[in-house]
């Protein structure tokens, strides 16, 4: 492995250099302990893993230590959770631990927009970078196509029911479902940030061009099918969950599912390979599973349960990633993912940057694509101290679930000794261990302190607990999350949300569903402009979605969209292909 200088190279240049020493994926798999038939190669450096074979073979092997990586409320530039996850994997390997990682596959929305991909950064990356960010093994394409096939089935059925009487429908082997075109529960999806598709009219033309109605697109990662992929335990469970997806409602209010539309089998056929986790490697050659998607603000935002289950059997330590801050990703990790998987975490790493703490302390606005204000590169420990209230809130969220918190200061070269000392003092006073990690600049060698502190935390006596029981009514669960996690005084429900909540209460089966909140990731509250630790607010829930297949009730708080927008200076303007070598350039 060559010595690379992260301060003088772009991420894609580092990843390209790493290709010179990347091990074949078969070697990574063998080192991990996978047998040949458990690996399904996709080229030289990527593979899928047959999790059912692995879990059956290793059923009696005890699980390793389970570590979640979360963060404080990020700036729009992010806190570096994936970079930290990869760095921690390499750091644990450096101190002799048998370790695996699990991160989420990036969405095309941020890749071609402002934020970029999600392979990590600097010397703490998952490779190969280009394949990782541009489709990988096709899981997101499969999710997009399966989702849209359900919409094809729905809109086709609407057209036929509108144009034909019952006798004609019977001749075509169809029964009338009496679909209400004004009560459709699904959107079309596409994996780009395409605000122009949020609200559309379809079926314009004559009667053979479809039923004319309002419709719209969401981004692929917000699809219920993405959530199903994250929580399904095997192909049988996947098929059963797909059949429960509510696509629309009848004119009498009856749910119409993909099973009713007789499309669930075909959707599962599209997805049957997507349920296998993808296996890649870090720059230092350590195994990383990549499965399921990001955006914990509008989705589950977790790496998949199947990836975690096989990784815990294969390694002594497993590091998994949750989206955005502890108020969103970690809360869902604990109360949804761990409840569904039955897995018990041992520690949680809260990633914090000096930059974000300064922002929460009253620093100038951070704008994606614009140069940072000098306040973020000069030493201002007073800003850091004022911003510590945000970090302390996230430490308290982790501790409420009985998990040992470790604050990782994701170190930048501009961070001063006084600023780092301020974070250490405040975090330790709040009951967290603290480590400074330089994984971006130094790879695993820079994450040794973090690795050692995390292994200490994993040895703490575990007192893991959920914030609420499944016997707690849905409304009360929403209120508990709002008060205990976000710090709200209470919850207000818009009329549309009240109506849906009343319907949920009438259906006792919904009590078995988890609560997956949708809200801004840029604040602990619903208001993205409210930094630090907001207080004295009421959480406004404007809508409630029902994901029966994923097993989730989804309250939507504030003015958040399920389809992001593309900015004026998106990343796609700088992505290209070197026509001499065929290599992709400009991937941040």
Q: List active site positions.
A: 81, 83, 104, 115, 296, 324, 412, 440
The three-point CA angle 192-193-197 to 5° equals: 95
Instruction: Give which of 149, 159, 290, 320 is closest to 223, Cα–Cα.
Output: 149
167: three-class secondary structure by DSSP: helix
For residues 365 and 531, is the Cβ–Cβ distance under 8 A?
no
Instruction: Give which of 154, 285, 169 is closest to 213, Cα–Cα.
Output: 154
Distance of CA 570 to the CA centre of its chain: 22
The three-point CA angle 195-197-201 to 5° equals: 145
402: three-class secondary structure by DSSP: coil
Instruction: Give which of 365, 345, 328 is closest to 555, Cα–Cα.
Output: 328
Rg (C-alpha) for the chain, rounded Å, is 24
Distance set, CA 169 to CA 120, 166, 184, 338 (Å): 54, 5, 21, 46
Distance set, CA 67 to CA 171, 304, 317, 369 (Å): 57, 14, 8, 32
DSSP, residue by residue, 408-438:
EEE--TT--HHHHHHHHHHHHHTT-EEEEE-
Q: How far apart are the first and last CA of the chain?
A: 22
What is the helix, strand, coil percentage profile of the chain, to 5? 40, 20, 40
Kind and range of the H or E element at 289? strand 287-290
Q: Sort 495 into a burial class: Cβ within 10 Å, 0-12 / 13-18 / 19+.
A: exposed
For residues 425 and 107, is the Cβ–Cβ distance under 8 A?
no
For residues 69 and 439, is the Cβ–Cβ distance under 8 A?
no
């Amino acid at each position: 492995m060559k010595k690379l200088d992260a301060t003088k190279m772009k991420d894609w240049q580092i990843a390209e250099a790493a290709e010179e020493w990347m091990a074949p994926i078969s070697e990574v798999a063998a080192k991990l302990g996978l047998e040949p038939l458990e690996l399904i190669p996709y080229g030289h450096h990527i593979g899928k893993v047959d999790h059912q074979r692995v879990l059956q073979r290793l059923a009696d092997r005890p699980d390793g230590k389970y570590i979640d990586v979360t963060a404080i409320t990020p700036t729009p530039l992010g806190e570096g959770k994936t970079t930290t996850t990869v760095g921690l994997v390499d750091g644990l390997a450096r101190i002799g631990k048998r370790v695996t990682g699990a991160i989420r596959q990036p969405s095309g929305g941020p890749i071609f927009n402002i934020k970029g991909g999600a392979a990590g950064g600097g010397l703490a990356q998952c490779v190969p970078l280009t394949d990782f960010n541009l489709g990988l093994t096709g899981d997101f394409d499969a999710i997009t196509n399966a989702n849209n096939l359900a919409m094809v089935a729905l809109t086709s059925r609407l057209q036929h029911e509108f144009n034909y009487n019952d006798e004609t429908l019977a001749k075509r082997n169809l029964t009338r479902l009496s679909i209400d075109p004004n009560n459709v529960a699904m959107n079309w999806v596409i994996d780009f940030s395409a605000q122009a598709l949020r609200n559309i009219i379809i079926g314009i033309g004559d009667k053979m061009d479809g039923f004319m109605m309002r419709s719209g697109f969401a981004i692929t990662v917000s699809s219920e099918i993405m959530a199903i992929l994250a929580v399904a335990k095997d192909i049988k469970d996947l098929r059963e969950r797909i059949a429960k997806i509510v696509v629309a409602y009848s004119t009498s209010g009856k749910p119409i599912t993909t099973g009713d539309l007789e499309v669930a089998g075909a959707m599962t056929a599209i997805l049957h390979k997507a349920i296998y986790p993808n296996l890649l490697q870090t720059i230092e050659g350590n195994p990383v599973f990549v499965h399921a998607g990001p955006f914990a603000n509008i989705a589950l935002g977790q790496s998949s349960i199947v990836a975690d289950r096989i990784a815990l059997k294969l390694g002594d330590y497993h590091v998994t990633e949750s989206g955005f801050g502890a108020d969103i990703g970690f809360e869902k990790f604990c109360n949804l993912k761990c409840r569904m998987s039955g897995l018990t975490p041992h520690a949680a790493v809260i990633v914090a940057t000096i930059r974000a703490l300064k922002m929460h302390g009253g620093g100038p606005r951070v704008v994606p694509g614009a140069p940072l204000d000098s306040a973020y590169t000069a030493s201002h420990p007073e800003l850091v101290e004022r911003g510590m209230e945000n970090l302390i809130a996230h430490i308290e969220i982790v501790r409420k679930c009985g998990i040992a918190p470790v604050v990782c200061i994701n170190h930048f070269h501009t961070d001063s000794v006084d600023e780092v000392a301020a974070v250490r003092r405040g975090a330790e006073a709040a009951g967290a261990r603290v480590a400074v990690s330089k994984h971006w600049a130094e790879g695993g060698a820079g994450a040794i302190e973090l690795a050692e502190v995390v292994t200490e935390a994993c040895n703490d006596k575990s007192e893991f607990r959920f914030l609420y029981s499944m016997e707690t009514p849905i409304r009360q669960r929403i209120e508990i999350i709002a008060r205990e996690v976000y710090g709200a005084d209470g919850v207000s429900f818009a009329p549309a949300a009240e109506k849906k909540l009343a319907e949920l209460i009438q259906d006792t089966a919904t009590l078995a569903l988890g609560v997956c909140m949708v809200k801004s990731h840029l604040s602990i509250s619903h208001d993205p402009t409210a930094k630090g630790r907001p207080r004295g607010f009421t959480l406004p829930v404007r809508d409630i979605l029902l994901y029966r297949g994923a097993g989730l009730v989804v309250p939507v708080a504030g003015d958040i969209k399920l389809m992001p927008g593309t900015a004026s200076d998106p990343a796609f303007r700088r992505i290209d292909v070197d026509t001499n070598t065929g290599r992709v350039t400009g991937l941040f």
